[in-house]
Amino acid sequence: MFYFSIFFQYAAQYLKTRLSYRTDLVIELFSDLLSQAVNLIFILVVFGHTTLLAGWNREEIIFIYGFFLVPYALFSSFFNIWDFNDRYIVKGEMDRVLTRPIHSLFQIVIERMELESMFGAVTGIVIMFYAGSRLGMELSWYDPFVFFVFVVGGAFIYAGIFISLAAISFWSDSKTDIMPMMYNIGNYGRYPVDIYNSVIRFVLTWVLPFAFVGVYPAAFFLGRSEWYGYAFLTPLMGVIFLGLAIFLWNAGVKRYRGAGN
On whether residue 261 sits in a domain, the answer given is: no
pLDDT in tens, the chain (261 residues): 788 888 888 888 888 887 887 788 788 788 888 888 888 888 888 787 777 787 899 999 999 999 999 999 999 999 988 888 888 888 888 999 998 889 999 999 998 898 888 889 999 999 999 999 999 998 899 999 999 999 999 999 999 999 999 998 888 766 556 787 888 888 888 888 888 889 999 999 999 999 999 999 999 999 999 999 999 999 999 999 999 999 999 999 998 887 665
Percent above pLDDT 90 for the chain? 50
- Kindly report the pTM of this predicted structure: 0.90
Give the range of the structural domain holding residue 239, as residue numbers without chain letter.
2-137+144-255
On whether residue 121 sits in a domain, the answer given is: yes
What total number of domains does the chain contain?
Answer: 1
Q: Which of 86, 95, 97, 99 is nearest to 259 (CA)?
A: 95
On whether residue 260 sits in a domain, the answer given is: no
On whether residue 19 sits in a domain, the answer given is: yes
CA–CA gap between residue 129 and residue 155 (Å, rounded): 20
Q: What is the pLDDT of residue 235?
A: 96
CA–CA gap between residue 219 and residue 226 (Å, rounded): 9
On whether residue 211 sits in a domain, the answer given is: yes
Q: Which of 79, 87, 169, 77 is nearest to 114 (CA)?
A: 77
Residue 228 CB neighbour total at 10 angstroms: 13
DSSP string, 140-169: -TTHHHHHHHHHHHHHHHHHHHHHHHHHGG
Handedness of CA 158, 160, 166, 168 (dihedral sign): negative
On whether residue 192 sits in a domain, the answer given is: yes
On whether residue 236 sits in a domain, the answer given is: yes
